[in-house]
Structure 1
Amino acid sequence: MKDLFGGAAPYYARYRADYGDQAIEHLATTFGPDSSILDLGCGPGTVAIPLAGRVREVTAADPDEEMLAEGRRLAANIPNIRWLRGDSTMLREFPPFDHVVMGRSFHWMDRRTVLAELDELLPPDGVVALAGPTRDPGEEPWEPAMRRVREEFGLGAMTATNSWEATGEHPHDVLATSSFSDLSSIMYERRLVYDLEAVIGLQLSYSYSSPARLGDRLEAFTDVARKALLASNPSGRWEYVTETEVLAARRAPA
C-alpha cells in the first residue's frame, strides 16, 4: 500500500474533503478528553490534527512516508501527535492506545484480522471508530466527465481487495460479526463547493490517478481533464451535498 499514493500527499491534504467539525467533535466526545488515540491509516492527518486538541494524545500511523511528512508539516505546532510509519499489520508495535479511529483506510486492510487483534489490544471500554462516506454516498457531479477521462488514459478505479465494493460487505456488516458488535452511528450533512482546480487536484489525490501512477502523462491528464470538465460545466464550479458517517463500535455487553 505504501506505493499506491506516490506524489498524492499534498493534493490529498489540500483537496480531499475533511470530515467536518461536528464529526470530529463527536469522535472526541466518544473517546473522552483524557484518552490516547491510534489513528490507523492517518494519511496527512485529516482526523489526527483536528482531534489532537480534544484528546490527550494521538498516534498517527500510516505506511506512506509522504503522507506522514505532509502531516508533520501541517501539525508543526501541535505537540501531542506522534507520527509513525506503520500499517495494520504492526498494531503490537505501536505505543498503547485506548481507542482507535480509521477513516477511508479501513477498506485497505484485512478487516477481520485487524478487528480480532484490536480485541486483544484495546481495554474493555475501547472503541473502534470509523469515519467516512455513508453506505450510499451517490456520485460527485463531476464524475461522469472524469470517468471518461480516466477511460481515455486507461485508469480504472483501484479497488481494495477487502473493500465493500470488492466483497459486498459494508463496514457495518464486518463489525457486526466481530467482537465490536455494539454499534452506534450518526450522520452529518454538509454542502461543499469545488472549483476547477480543486476538482483536478482531487483526482491527483486518488490511488488510481496519483502523480506516481500517471508518471510522464501527468500534464496531459490534467490538460484533458480541465477541458472535459469545462465542456461539461463551463462555470467551473460544482456544488454538492455530502454525508459523513461516524460509526462507533464497542464490545457487546456480557
Structure 2
Amino acid sequence: MTDLFAGTAPYYAKYRSDHGDQAIEHLARTFGPDGTVLDLGCGPGTVAIPLAPAVREILAVDPDEEMLETGRGLAAEVRNIRWLRGDSTRLRELPAFGHIVMGRSFHWMDRRAVLADLDELLPPGGVVALLGPGREPQEEPWEATMRRVREEFDANTFTATGSFQVSGEHPHDVLVTTPFSDLESAMYEHRLTYDVDAVIGLQLSYSYSSPARLGDRLEPFKEAARKALLDLDPSGTWEHTEVTEVLIARRPTG
C-alpha cells in the first residue's frame, strides 16, 4: 500500500476534492460530540481535519508515512487528531475507538474480514460510516481525454482503479451480509471548478498514475496532459458536480 501511493501525498492534499460540508455535517451528527472516531485510510486528513472540531477525538490511520506527515502539517493547530501508521490488518493494535469512517480506502481492504473484526472491536451503538460516489458516479468532463493520456504512458490500470466498488460489489451489497446490515444512505452534491493544473494534479494523486509509477516520464506526462486538456477546451476550465454518498451502517436492534 505504501508504494502504491508513493509521491502522491501533496497532490492528494491539494487536488483531491473534499466531500463537501453537508457530508461532514452528516458524520458529525452521527458520531456526536463525545465520539472517538477511527478514520481508517485517512490519507492527508480529507475527512479527519474538517470532522475534528465536531467530535472528541480522531485516530487518523494510514499505512503511508508521507500521507500522515502531510496531514500533520495541514492540521498543526488541531489538537484532537492522533496520526498513526497502520492499516486494516492491524485494527487490534490501535487505541479503543467508538466509531469508524472510511472513504475510498475501503475498496483496498478485505472488506468482510475488516467488518468481522469491527464487530468485535466496536462497542454497542458503534457505527461504520463510508464515504464514496455512490453506485453510478458521473464521469468527469476531462476523464476520457486523461484516460487516453494515461494509456499512452502505460499508467491507466492497477489492481484497484479508484472506483468505490472495485470488486464489483457496491458497499451496500457487502454490508447487508455482515453484522452491520442496518443501512442509512444520503447523497450530497457540491459543484467544483477545475483548471488544467488541478486536473493534472488529480492524475498525480492516483495510484496508477502516481509520480513514483511515472518515474522519469513524469514531466513528459504532464506536458502531454496539458496539451490534451487545452485541445479539449482552450479555456482550460471545467465545472463538475461531485456527488458524495454517506452510508451509515449499524448493527440491527430488536
TM-score by length of 1: 0.97
Q: CA separation in 2, counterparts of 1:182 and 1:220?
A: 49
State the Cα distance separating 1:156 from its structure 2 match: 2.3
1:161-192 deviation line (CA, Å, top 9, x unaligned): 9x765432100000011000000000001111
**Residue 12 (str. 1) matches residue 12 (str. 2):** yes
Unmatched runs of 5 consecutive residues or more in structure 1: none
- SS of the residue 2:244 aligns to: strand
Q: CA separation in 2, counterparts of 1:6 and 1:113?
A: 26
**Equivalent residue runs for 1:208-219 within 5 Å:** 208-219=208-219
**Equivalent residue runs for 1:1-254 within 5 Å:** 1-160=1-160, 165-254=165-254
Amino acid at match of 2:41: G
- SS of the residue 1:83 aligns to: strand
Amino acid at match of 2:39: D
1:173-232 deviation line (CA, Å, top 9, x unaligned): 000110000000000011111001000000000000010100111000000000001001
Calculate the aligned-residue CA RMSD, in Å: 1.2
Q: CA separation in 1, counterparts of 2:66 and 2:35?
A: 27
Amino acid at match of 1:157: T
Q: CA separation in 1, counterparts of 2:157 and 2:193?
A: 24
| Runs of 4+ with >4 A deviation | 163-166
Q: CA separation in 1, counterparts of 2:206 and 2:243?
A: 19
Amino acid at match of 2:193: V
Q: Is the CA contact 1:159–1:165 (under 8 Å) kept in the aligned structure 2?
A: no
In percent, how many aligned pairs have the same letter? 73
State the Cα distance separating 1:160 from its structure 2 match: 2.6
Unmatched runs of 5 consecutive residues or more in structure 2: none
State the Cα distance separating 1:113 from its structure 2 match: 0.2
- SS of the residue 2:129 aligns to: strand
Q: CA separation in 2, counterparts of 1:228 and 1:118?
A: 45
1:141-172 deviation line (CA, Å, top 9, x unaligned): 001110110111111222339x7654321000
Q: How many residues align?
A: 253
